[in-house]
């Protein structure tokens, strides 16, 4: 499990870092009431960079990186541990169910750690004026100075519930995606290695 811990932490962190600008644009598009920008998603990204600078796509990166290593490590260790235990006690014909449950449980375990940072990241991605960037969907007119400033502010003003905003929806979505993804991944890996 030690190698899964290191490999999972590194691989997941690299993916999070590389995909953060895309996630920022995705987050902003979800809450924006602004008229459609010519050029679609790329047009919106170009407009954001033009009006706010290149680093606007990296808002919230501190929160992403603060949670990435431990969250990915916990996920992979949980997944690999459950998968190994399942292989010991469950017949091989039920391996897809083992992979499905292992991935879902890995997501559930890691979510306790990553959801508060994801809340911070999402709020920071909206920019210096969330109300403006969301077209009025977000009522706040200021944002946070950094990751730990945001954690502290949310904790003081909203408590634990604020740090876990959207937790149930996140769990349903993330557990389902991970469970299906790794069930199919493990099955395809077996089929392709048998060819």
Collect all residues with Cβ–Cβ distance below 8 Å to 147 and sequence separation of at least 6.
60, 62, 63, 66, 117, 120, 124
Question: What pLDDT score was predicted for residue 36?
Answer: 72
Please provide residue 34's backbone torsions phi and psi, each rounded to the nearest 5 degrees: -65, 155
State the pLDDT at residue 107.
Answer: 93
In the block, tokens 């459609």 appear at 36
Burial pattern 15-49, b for ≥16 Cβ within 10 A else e, equals ebeeebbebbbebbeebbeeeebeeeeeebbeebe
User: For every one of its 195 residues, what pLDDT tens digit does the chain have, with 9 covering 90 and above?
Assistant: 567 667 767 877 888 889 989 988 888 887 776 667 777 888 888 888 888 888 888 888 888 888 888 888 888 889 999 999 999 999 988 999 999 999 999 999 999 988 998 888 888 887 666 656 555 555 555 567 788 888 898 899 889 999 999 899 989 999 999 999 999 999 898 888 887
DSSP letters for 77-114: HHHHHHHHHHHHHS-GGGHHHHHHHHHHHHHHHHHHHH
| pTM higher than the cut 0.75 | no
State in Å, rounded, how far the first CA of the chain is from the last one: 28
Cα–Cα dist 55/32, whole Å: 19
The residue count of the chain comes to 195
């Amino acid at each position: 499990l030690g190698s899964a811990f290191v490999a999972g932490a590194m691989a997941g962190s690299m993916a999070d870092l590389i995909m953060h600008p895309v996630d920022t644009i995705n987050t902003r598009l979800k809450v924006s009431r602004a008229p459609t920008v010519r050029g679609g998603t790329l047009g919106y990204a170009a407009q954001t960079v033009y009006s706010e600078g290149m680093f606007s796509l990296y808002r919230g990166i501190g929160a992403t990186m603060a949670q990435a290593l431990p969250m990915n490590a916990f996920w992979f260790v949980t997944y690999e541990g459950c998968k190994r235990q399942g292989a010991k006690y469950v017949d091989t014909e039920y391996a897809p169910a083992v992979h499905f449950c292992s991935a879902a449980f890995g997501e559930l375990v890691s979510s306790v750690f990553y959801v508060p940072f994801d809340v911070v990241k999402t709020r920071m991605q909206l920019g210096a004026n969330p109300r403006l960037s969301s077209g009025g969907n977000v009522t706040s007119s200021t944002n946070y100075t950094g990751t730990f400033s945001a954690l502290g502010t949310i904790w003081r003003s909203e408590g634990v519930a604020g740090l876990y905003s959207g937790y149930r929806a996140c769990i349903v979505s993330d557990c389902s995606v991970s469970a299906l993804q790794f069930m199919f991944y493990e099955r395809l890996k077996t089929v392709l290695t048998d060819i």
